[in-house]
Amino acid sequence: MPELPEVETIVRALRAGNGAPPLPGQRVMQVTVGWPRHIVEPSLPAFRKRIRGREIKEIHRRGKYLVFTLDEGTLLIHLRMSGDLLIAPSVSPRGPYDHTVFHLQNGWELRFSDARKFGRVHLVRDPNTVLGKLGPEPLAKSFTPLLLEEILKGRKRQVKSLLLDQTFVAGLGNIYTDEALHRAKLHPLRRSNSLNREEIHSLWSGIRESLQMGIRHNGASIDWVYRGGSFQNHFLVYKRAGEPCVYCLTPIQRIVVAQRGTHFCPSCQQESTV
């Protein structure tokens, strides 16, 4: 599933164009929907009517959502497991998974490719009806070690499971949670209420460093649904089971936490203080 760095990379590409016209300033003339379940709200007929003629004013990211601010309303797209967005000329052949296509006024299209069809699209008047449930942005200036300590109070969950919870912190998924915990030297099964202030600060640093590194390398390309990223060449633990830790040479182990394959170094991330 695309996580914060992958989504941020897509947002920046759409904003800049990268060989295509930048998306901000373009107007949506109509939409083709080949997979109606992409559209969560409003109803499909209402969606087609309301999106027609809308100008895309700006694009940003909130957690794993792409947020398109329109001249009227807000378009939200969640890529889920296999989604991708790209701008292509209308005359170029569409791919087999381009299920939702926004036709632009300039002869180009914004294509939502989604092989597994889990992606979701919302067209809302108030984006907070969807985004309001999300936790803080981990790369925002407001996300400080003190804030992390505050939102950890009263939580008694395994730290890996907690970090995957989008209502706790927005944007982290399996890759960057594993990488962040390794940087923080925290075992994924540690209980969140067992962390002391120094460990919370290390966790804060680990989260931000992992995400910033991911963005710097345009995200990770570890599956056919990703494109162009190289962060997979810099993983510390993720998908490296049996390989030596880059710091202590202990073989990386894999366990299952919160139904997710989880990678860690048993020497750098000891479980003894659980």
Catalytic residue from among 3, 8, 109, 179:
3
Sketch the domain layout of the chain as residue ranges: 4-131, 145-264
- Per the annotation, the verdict on 251 as an active-site residue is no
- Tell me what pLDDT residue 159 has: 97
Out of 54, 61, 62, 64, which one is annotated catalytic?
64
Would the pLDDT of 40 be above 80?
A: yes
DSSP the chain: ---HHHHHHHHHHHHH-TTS--STT-BEEEEEES-GGGEEES-HHHHHHHHTT-BEEEEEEETTEEEEEESSSEEEEE-TTTEEEEEEETTSPPPTTEEEEEEETTSEEEEEEETT---EEEEES-THHHHTT----TTSTT--HHHHHHHHTT--SBHHHHHH-TTTSSS--HHHHHHHHHHHT--TT-BGGG--HHHHHHHHHHHHHHHHHHHHTTS---STT--S--GGGG-SSTT-TTSBPTTT-PBPEEEEETTEEEEE-TTTS--TT-
pLDDT for the residue numbered 226: 58
145-264, CATH topology level: Helicase, Ruva Protein; domain 3 (1.10.8)
Q: pTM of the full predicted structure? A: 0.94
| CATH node for 4-131 | 3.20.190.10
Active site annotation includes 37 = no
**Catalytic site residue from 50, 191, 227, 260:** 260
Whether 137 is catalytic is no
41 given a catalytic annotation: no
> Over 80: is that where the pLDDT of 198 sits?
yes
Average pLDDT, the chain: 95
Catalytic residue from among 2, 5, 127, 138: 2
Residue 37 has pLDDT above 50, yes or no: yes
Q: What is the mean pLDDT of residues 199-217?
A: 97
Per-residue pLDDT at 273 exceeds 50: no
Residue 224's pLDDT is: 53
